[in-house]
Amino acid sequence: MNSETTLITGASSGIGLHLAHEFAKNGHPLVLVAPVESELRAVADEITSKFGVTVLVIAKDLELPNSAAEIFDRLQGENVAVEILVNNAGHGFRGKSWQIPIEDDLSVIRLNIEAVLRLTKLFIEPMLRRGRGRILNTASVAGFEPGPLLAVYHASKAFVLSWSEALAVELEGTGLTVTALCPGPTDTDFFPKAGMMETRAFQSASVSAPQDVAKAGYEGLMKKELFIVPGGMNKALVAARRLLSEGAQARLNQKFYEEVPAGEATRERGEFENTVKE
């Protein structure tokens, strides 16, 4: 059992929800962050009754510039030392770049990049003073390649991946580690929210269960890995695609984000998540 207190953003659903279960299963006290308090409370109640760990919930919209500091100040005020920071909250919007409203693009940048920077810069200071700490940033396989029809999302995850790897090297010798979790398509609310349920990425690709992604993320973090690509198929695709030109990668991804012909969209949200027994 591990008693390092862990803060997880985006813990009300999907990968973040299952990361919360995975950390709790391994004994970690938790601080869970997401926008809706009632959803976080429901998650906290289930985790407390199942695993018996302490769970504190903080409802915040991480797109607001003061949210990171308000979370940090509250935890400092309550003497809660965050030893593991999991920057997981994120989202994306599908469409041609010139058709997506600028506010949607900026929303992706605020949540996927700005909030990650703000939280990390606050929580890294006490970790450095203690001489230990772990940071897990949810990037994506999207971070390895340009992604037409999901262009700003891919660029945001390229930022998270590149920045995480650079930070990890800067931190060598400090006792702190940084790990980038790079899932492939995963059965979460990401797809309906991004308007991507009918795409090849959800309908024909190898889709992971968020439980498996969370387990791989936890294990990779504990092993101090620089990045983790969960699942054999995703590992093979990332490795193979690195041999292609950027243009060829982009064209393949554009196909991936096109919709399947009408009538062929048979997979439903929850199909993979609900069949896994924890």
Ligand X SMILES: NC(=O)c1ccc[n+]([C@@H]2O[C@H](COP(=O)([O-])OP(=O)(O)OC[C@H]3O[C@@H](n4cnc5c(N)ncnc54)[C@H](OP(=O)(O)O)[C@@H]3O)[C@@H](O)[C@H]2O)c1
User: Residues in the site for ligand X, rule: CB under 6 A?
Assistant: 9-16, 34-36, 61-63, 88-91, 111, 138, 140, 183, 185-186, 188-190, 193
**CB nearer ligand X, residue 128 or residue 233:** 233
Which residue in 127, 116, 201 sits closest to 162, CA to CA? 116
Closest approach of ligand X to the CB of residue 61, in Å: 5
- Alpha carbon distance 36, 12 (integer Å): 8
Closest approach of ligand X to the CB of residue 130, in Å: 26
**CB nearer ligand X, residue 34 or residue 237:** 34
Closest approach of ligand X to the CB of residue 32, in Å: 9
- Alpha carbon distance 120, 178 (integer Å): 10
Closest approach of ligand X to the CB of residue 218, in Å: 14
Which residue in 69, 85, 118 sits closest to 4, CA to CA? 85
Which one-letter amino acid corresponds to residue 140?
S
Closest approach of ligand X to the CB of residue 268, in Å: 15
3-state secondary structure the chain: CCCCCEEEECCCCHHHHHHHHHHHHCCCCEEEEECCHHHHHHHHHHHHHHHCCCEEEEECCCCCCCHHHHHHHHHHHCCCCCCEEEECCCCCCCCCCCCCCHHHHHHHHHHHHHHHHHHHHHHHHHHHHHCCEEEEEECCHHHHCCCCCCHHHHHHHHHHHHHHHHHHHHCCCCCEEEEEECCCCECCCHHHHHCCCCEHHHHCCCCECHHHHHHHHHHHHHCCCCEECCCHHHHHHHHHHCCCCHHHHHHHHHHHCCECCCCCCCCCCCCCCCCCCC
- Alpha carbon distance 95, 257 (integer Å): 9
**CB nearer ligand X, residue 88 or residue 253:** 88
**CB nearer ligand X, residue 61 or residue 259:** 61
Closest approach of ligand X to the CB of residue 48, in Å: 18
Q: Give catalytic residues, as residue numbers.
A: 153
